[in-house]
Amino acid sequence: MSVSPLVWTITIVVILALLAFDYFFHIRKAHVPTLREAAVWSSIYVGAAVLFGVVLLVFGGSTMGGEYFAGFITEKALSVDNLFVFLVIMASFRVPREDQQKVLLFGIVFALIARSAFIFAGVALINAFSWVFYLFGLILLITAGNLLKGEDSGDEEADNFVIRLARKFLRTSEHYDGDRLFTVENGKRVLTPMLLVMVAIGGTDLLFALDSIPAIFGLTQNAYVVFTATAFSLMGLRQLFFLLDGLLDRLIYLSYGLAAILAFIGVKLVLHALHENNLPFINGGEHVQVFEITTGLSLTVIIGVLLVTVIASLFSKAGKAHAAVNNARRHAESYLDLEYTADPTERERVYRELLDEEKDILEMDKKYRDKVKDIDAIRAKVAEAHARHADFLAR
Give the tens place of pLDDT for each residue, 171-209. Answer: 777 777 777 778 888 778 888 888 788 877 877 777 778
- Identify residue 164 by its one-letter amino acid code: R
- End-to-end alpha-carbon separation of the chain, Å? 70
DSSP, residue by residue, 164-205: HHHHHHS-B-SS--TT-SEEEETTEEEE-HHHHHHHHHHHHH
The proportion of the chain whose per-residue pLDDT surpasses 70, expressed as a percent, equals: 92
Averaged pLDDT, 220-225: 91
Q: Look at residue 81 and tell me whether its pLDDT is greater than 80.
A: no
Lowest mean pLDDT among 52-61, 302-311, 336-345: 336-345
Residue 4 phi, psi dihedral angles, 5° rounding: -75, 155
**Residue 152: what pLDDT?**
46
Dihedral, CA of residue 283, residue 286, residue 287 and residue 288, to nearest 10: -20
Averaged pLDDT, 140-152: 78
**Residue 232: what pLDDT?**
92
**Close Cβ partners of 132 (under 8 Å, ≥ 6 residues apart):** 122, 125, 126
pLDDT tens-digit profile of 268-278?
989 988 888 87
- What's the mean pLDDT when you consider all of the chain? 82
Three-state DSSP at 76 gives: helix
Nearest-angstrom CA–CA distance, 104 and 202: 10
Nearest to 382 by CA among 364, 371, 360: 360
Q: Look at residue 303 and tell me whether its pLDDT is greater than 90.
A: yes
Residues 354/334, Cβ–Cβ less than 8 Å: no
**Residue 154: what pLDDT?**
41
Averaged pLDDT, 10-15: 92
Nearest to 257 by CA among 77, 109, 88: 77
Averaged pLDDT, 240-256: 78
Q: Look at residue 68 and tell me whether its pLDDT is greater than 90.
A: yes
**Residue 164: what pLDDT?**
65
**Close Cβ partners of 176 (under 8 Å, ≥ 6 residues apart):** 95, 96, 99, 192, 193, 194, 339
**Residue 30: what pLDDT?**
73
